[in-house]
Amino acid sequence: MDFLECYLKAGKIASEQREKTRRKDHVGSTLLTICESIEREIQEKGGIPAFPVNVSLNDIAAHYTAEPNDETIVRENDVLKIDIGVHVEGYIADTAVTVSNDPHHDSLIKSAENALNEAVRISRVNTKASEIGKLIENTISNTGFKPIQNLSGHSLAQYTIHAGKSIPNIRTIGSSFSLLSSQAYAIEPFVTMKDGQGVVFEGNIRNIFAIISRKPVKDEFVNEFLTYLWNKFRTLPFALRWILDRYEEGEARRLLDILVKKRNIHAYPILIEGKNKFVAQAEHTIVPLDGSTSVITL
């Protein structure tokens, strides 16, 4: 398969899972069940999860995934962001949906969806990232909400989720860049309430990990663990849940801790809205091509 066929296959699997998730009633389900069922079905369809399914509730904007025995249950008025990544031969489709059983949150969720649709509509080869950011901000403001200014979309590369370029969710000043042909980008507006801060800060929970250095450490057993992780995930993010086939939970936590302290592994903190207001997210991955733009997660 060439790179575009890989993207299209990954995108199809990711969007099928997103739409299935959108239609489901999650109230009463645990976050663990939601993550595990999506991750299992991705594999049944011939894809590989590109990162642990993110299940971020309410004022948590991003980067929470279920713990191995996570008993958190989705409640009636929760706002749940479900962010799904699928890769085929390293080519990643990244897409997200926000769900809630409470109709009070409909307009917040709609605002994120509208901003995403508007942004995708103007995104083609040579579109300026600053134009996308401006349109996202305007669309969100016009519906009475606020964009999260320190979260952004991003370019993607093979086995790399954040490949260096950011697609802003607000108007920016200074130099920008233009979208390139055959380069994948995730566009992902995050929206909060008008009285929110419009900024996220790092929380204390860190349960998504990724290798950032393969520099060996002195302890042979720890090195073996690092090699196991590299063989399994390369540079892609993973969760504790994903390594319990080989390591007992307490042991895995201890080894991860050592490698985080040695800066071999990065532990992503959850990101929380500055005034603890509800946050909604919508996300697609696009590949601008000469002539038209392929929205691979449509």
Could you list the active site residues?
Answer: 83, 94, 154, 162, 188, 283
> Which of these segments, 38-46, 100-108, 180-188, 193-201, binds Mn ion (CB under 5 A)?
180-188
Could you say whether residue 186 binds Mn ion (CB under 5 A)? Answer: yes
Query: How far is residue 208's CA from residue 188's CA, in Å, rounded to a whole number?
Result: 19
Of the two residues 140 and 252, which places its CB atom closer to Mn ion in the complex?
140
Residues 220-259 that bind Mn ion (CB under 5 A): none
Burial of 171 (C-beta count, 10 Å sphere; 0-12/13-18/19+)? middle
Tokens 């920016």 belong to: 172
Of the two residues 252 and 279, which places its CB atom closer to Mn ion in the complex?
279
Residues 74-133 that bind Mn ion (CB under 5 A): 83, 94, 96
Shortest reach from residue 131's CB to Mn ion, in Å:
19
Shortest reach from residue 150's CB to Mn ion, in Å:
14
**Cα–Cα separations (whole angstroms), residue 226 to 23, 213, 214, 219, 232:** 39, 10, 7, 11, 10
Residue 3: its H or E element: helix 3-23
Of the two residues 15 and 264, which places its CB atom closer to Mn ion in the complex?
15
Shortest reach from residue 206's CB to Mn ion, in Å:
18
Nearest CA to 186 among 284, 85, 87, 97? 284
Size of the site for Mn ion (CB under 5 A): 5
For the packed helices 106-122 and 129-142, what is the interaxial angle rounded to 10 degrees?
150
In sequence order, the 6+-apart residues with CB closer than 8 A to the CB of 96 are 18, 54, 81, 82, 83, 84, 188, 281, 282, 283
- Using DSSP, state whether 51 is helix, strand or coil: coil
> Which of these segments, 30-38, 65-73, 193-201, 282-290, binds Mn ion (CB under 5 A)?
282-290
Shortest reach from residue 122's CB to Mn ion, in Å:
19
The answer to whether 136 touches 147, Cβ cutoff 8 Å, is: yes
> Which of these segments, 8-16, 121-129, 144-152, 283-291, binds Mn ion (CB under 5 A)?
283-291
Shortest reach from residue 283's CB to Mn ion, in Å:
5
**Exposure string over 65-82, b if 16+ CB within 10 A, otherwise e:** bbbeebebebeeebbbbb
Of the two residues 206 and 262, which places its CB atom closer to Mn ion in the complex?
206
Shortest reach from residue 62's CB to Mn ion, in Å:
8
Query: How far is residue 41's CA from residue 19's CA, in Å, rounded to a whole number?
Result: 13
Of the two residues 96 and 108, which places its CB atom closer to Mn ion in the complex?
96
> Which of these segments, 42-50, 117-125, 182-190, 201-209, binds Mn ion (CB under 5 A)?
182-190
Tokens 């929110």 belong to: 196
Query: How far is residue 38's CA from residue 48's CA, in Å, rounded to a whole number?
Result: 11
The answer to whether 48 touches 38, Cβ cutoff 8 Å, is: no
Of the two residues 29 and 160, which places its CB atom closer to Mn ion in the complex?
160
Residues 9-68 that bind Mn ion (CB under 5 A): none
> Which of these segments, 41-49, 136-144, 208-216, 280-288, binds Mn ion (CB under 5 A)?
280-288
Q: Binding residues for Mn ion, per CB under 5 A?
A: 83, 94, 96, 186, 283
